């Protein structure tokens, strides 16, 4: 899809995908998952080469930040902000003195916000550089919102982890409790993993934007024909503060992961402790039963009328005494 921004603040869309039309007055051309026909139409109308998805996905810095004959070619990975499974998809900019071409492959709230702001503003039409700065500001704001939401989610996870004995124990009957506790710990681990994965993608996005800004600021006068814009430094400081906040959140994720693994280790130790107690409790009754199972001819209890109840009582007592000892010691 092609979305066009004209000089008078009107946002309109190009015609059907099979026959797109790009007017000459378009200042901002937004390509959302463009087809080959759409990319070709933009190139023919503007003379700007539209980078492919493969080119935008290159990881080396020289491919992401380039000066071309038309202007500046920029690319960065951008997180999809999907709560279920966040992904990194390429985001490209081709910035010239007169036009801005953006190439993206998923919907971004920042683009809709910028289009709304341009449509509602009074005064002279926004230039390509101003639109680029607006997009940078909105993208940084979206990342800030995502990090704030991530911080709140991690606080909730922290409460779940450190109140686990109160909240995650299940009922007090039968084998349902260990199963519920195991499922609760698995859910916590998955939640921590998802947030750690999302933080890694936010870090990659911040790094990409952090590299773009000084490159564009350094080329303002030579390529874009505008003076150094102070807003570049403001956005750069915002990105630096978000990077610091992301580092703290990543440390928090690691802390919660260690705490959860510690809980899992405690649960495993409890299981082994129960098994140890059961095995130890079974040793004295086994000894008594083995002793009276020996086939010796002269055993006093064999002819005793109370020999059988005596043997059973001895087995029960020998099992209860270790249990009582372990209970007094607080081992179970």
Q: What is the mean pLDDT of the chain?
A: 82
Range from 128-132, 228-232, 285-289, 328-332 that averages highest in pLDDT: 128-132
Please identify which residue in the block is written with the tokens 């953006």.
102
Q: How many CA atoms lie within 13 A of 193 on its CB side?
A: 8
- Reported as a pLDDT band with limits 50, 70 and 90, residue 148 is very high
For the chain, what percent of residues have pLDDT higher than 90?
32
pLDDT at 12 exceeding the cut of 50? no
User: Residue 208: in which H helix or E strand, if any?
Assistant: helix 176-218
How far from 169 is each of 163, 184, 277, CA to CA, in Å? Answer: 10, 9, 21
More confidently predicted of 92 and 219: 92
Confidence of residue 172 (pLDDT cuts 50, 70, 90): very low
C-alpha to C-alpha distance for 81 and 111, rounded to whole angstroms: 14
Res. 102 pLDDT band, cuts 50 70 90: very high
DSSP codes, 43-83: HHHH-PPPPPHHHHT--SHHHHEEE-SSSEEEEEEEE---S
pLDDT at residue number 22: 66
Work out the angle between the directed axes of helices 283-292 and 307-329 (0-180°, nearest 10). Answer: 160
Q: Which of 53, 108, 54 is nearest to 78 (CA)?
A: 108
Cβ atoms within 10 Å of 87's Cβ, excluding its own: 15
| Predicted local distance difference test score (pLDDT) of residue 176 | 44
Q: What is the pLDDT of residue 250?
A: 94
Task: Choose the weakest-confidence range: 150-159, 241-250, 308-317.
Answer: 308-317
Sign of the CA dihedral with 138 first, then 141, 147, and 152 last: negative
Residue with tokens 């990881």: 59
Average pLDDT over residues 113-130: 81
155, 153, 159, 158: which is closest to 202 by C-alpha? 153
Please give the pLDDT value at position 170.
45
Lowest mean per-residue pLDDT among 59-63, 90-94, 209-213: 59-63
pTM: 0.77
Q: Which residue, among 165, 185, 200, 205, has the nearest Cα to 256 in the 3D structure?
A: 185
Q: What is the pLDDT of residues 192-239, one digit of tens each?
A: 999 999 999 999 999 999 999 999 988 887 666 677 678 888 999 999
Asked whether the beta carbons of 2 and 14 are under 8 A apart, the reply is: yes
Q: Which residues contact 38 (CB under 8 A, 6 or more apart)?
A: 1, 2, 14, 17, 20, 31
72 strand-pairing partners: 67, 95
């Amino acid at each position: 899809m092609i979305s066009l921004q004209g000089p008078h603040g009107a946002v309109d869309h190009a015609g059907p995908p099979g026959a797109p039309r790009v007017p000459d007055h378009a200042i901002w051309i937004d390509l959302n998952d463009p087809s080959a026909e759409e990319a070709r139409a933009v190139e023919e109308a503007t003379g700007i080469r539209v980078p492919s998805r493969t080119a935008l996905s290159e990881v080396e810095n020289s491919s992401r930040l380039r000066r071309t004959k038309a202007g500046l070619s920029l690319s960065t990975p951008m997180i999809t902000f999907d709560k279920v499974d966040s992904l990194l998809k390429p985001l490209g900019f081709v910035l010239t003195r007169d036009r801005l071409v953006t190439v993206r492959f998923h919907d971004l709230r920042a683009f809709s916000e910028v289009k709304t702001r341009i449509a509602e503003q009074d005064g002279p039409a926004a230039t390509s550089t101003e639109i680029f700065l607006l997009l940078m500001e909105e993208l940084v704001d979206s990342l800030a919102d995502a990090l704030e939401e991530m911080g709140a989610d991690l606080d909730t996870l922290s409460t779940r982890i450190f109140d686990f004995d109160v909240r995650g124990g299940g009922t007090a009957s039968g084998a349902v409790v260990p199963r519920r506790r195991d499922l609760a710990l698995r859910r916590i681990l998955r939640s921590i993993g998802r947030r750690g994965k999302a933080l890694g993608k936010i870090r990659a996005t911040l790094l990409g934007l952090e590299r773009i800004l000084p490159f564009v600021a350094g080329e303002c006068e030579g390529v874009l024909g505008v003076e150094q814009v102070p807003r570049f430094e403001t956005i750069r400081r915002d990105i630096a503060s978000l990077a610091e906040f992301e580092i703290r959140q990543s440390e928090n994720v690691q802390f919660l992961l260690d705490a959860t693994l510690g809980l899992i280790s405690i649960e495993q130790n409890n299981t082994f402790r129960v098994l140890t107690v059961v095995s130890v409790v079974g040793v004295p009754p086994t000894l008594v039963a083995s002793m009276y199972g020996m086939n010796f001819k002269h055993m006093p209890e064999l002819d005793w009328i109370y020999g059988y109840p005596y043997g059973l009582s001895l087995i029960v007592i020998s099992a209860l005494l270790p249990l009582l000892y372990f209970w007094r010691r607080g081992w179970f």
